[in-house]
Amino acid sequence: MMSTATVFVASSAIAPGIDLKLIGVHAAEAHVLGVRVDCIDMESALKRIEALANAGGHHLVATVNPEFVMRARSDREFARVLGSADLCLPDGSGVVWAARRQGCSMSGPVTGVDLIPPLAAMCARRGWRMFLLGAQPGVAADLAQQLRTGNPGLAVEAYAGSADPAADDETVAAVTRHKPHVLLVAFGAPRQEMWIDRAGRRVNVPVSIGVGGSFDYLTGRVTRAPRWMRSAGLEWLFRLVRQPWRLRRMAVLPVFAWRVLRES
């Protein structure tokens, strides 16, 4: 069933000239097994994120895949956090397939790894600061340097940090010093979304996005599936072959498909 999203943003936090439609009002969306997914492509996603950053305040952007959806069915706190997101991107061919069955028009997945390069270019163009948080030590720093090289003038800093609540004060302090407009968090789901909900509000960043393993892919530490496999919706198979430890996590995929078909 298609519906329209209504995202509340305090009027005092909205910058003059901002189009409310771009920050979530009357945006087409699908509900995949109870989890909202915005019917959006990469170009529209970038416009929405730009509008959210302009609006100020604190906005969560979630990259929803089938594992998110299935976890949300049993994890009420994770479901609550996803429900609070201002933008839920279709990250994965399974979510795109399920949303299309509800009439959602979208060209394909909007993944975190594909989003980061054009997002960095937008930040460089707008003079906005970025912060890369998470992944293993050195990974975020390598990506930050890579993004600076590709986007002259981009102000981007990095910190490995930790999703452990005991480390929140230190991690928040590291982010706050940079005063970013866009924060990318790579702690992996659901830790990254829970961190944004718990501690991310303290850093006063307009847009925070959980990006999972994107830093590893963009720095070449993990090989991504060939383009033809991604276009065919087979990236999950490539990941499974290269990373057999994913088998337990991916076991939810047939259950996800069965439930989508049953509830359609």
CATH of the domain at 33: 3.40.50
The CA distance from 38 to 28, in Å, is 6
33: left (phi over 0), alpha (psi -120 to 50) or beta: left
Q: Tell me if 15 is assigned to some domain.
A: yes
What phi, psi does 64 have (nearest 5°)? -85, 125
Q: Provide the 3-class DSSP secondary structure of residue 134.
A: strand
pLDDT, residue 17, reads: 43
61 in a structural domain: yes
Residue 136's pLDDT is what? 97
pLDDT given for residue 20 in this prediction: 42
Residue by residue, DSSP assigns 46-66 as HHHHHHHHHH-S-EEEEEE-H
- Beta strands in 76-213, from DSSP E residues, in sequence order: 87-90, 129-134, 155-159, 182-186, 207-210
155 DSSP β-pair partners: 129
If one counts the domains in the chain, the total is 1
User: Is the residue at 51 inside a domain?
Assistant: yes
The predicted pLDDT at position 13 comes to 37
Cis? peptide before 152, omega within 30° of 0? no
| Domain-embedded: residue 24 | yes
- Inside any domain, residue 6: no
For residue 249, is it within any domain? no
Please report the pLDDT score of residue 133 as a whole number: 98
Asked, for residue 235, whether it belongs to a domain, the answer is no
In a domain? residue 73 = yes
Interatomic CA distance for residues 162 and 155, integer angstroms: 22
Q: For each of the chain's 264 residues, which pLDDT tens digit applies?
A: 333 332 333 333 344 444 444 544 446 999 999 999 999 999 999 999 999 999 999 999 999 999 999 999 999 999 999 999 999 999 989 999 999 999 999 999 999 999 999 999 999 999 999 999 999 999 999 999 999 999 999 999 999 999 999 999 999 999 999 999 999 999 999 999 999 999 988 998 999 999 999 999 999 999 787 887 877 777 777 777 777 766 677 778 889 999 999 987
Sheet with strand 129-134: strands edge to edge: 87-90, 59-64, 207-210, 182-186, 129-134, 155-159
- Write down the pLDDT at residue 4: 32
The confidence score (pLDDT) of residue 27 equals 63
The candidate with the shortest Cα–Cα distance to 81, out of 95, 61, 99, 98, is 61
Give the separation between CA 22 and CA 208, rounded to whole angstroms: 17
Residues spanned by the domain of 119: 11-218
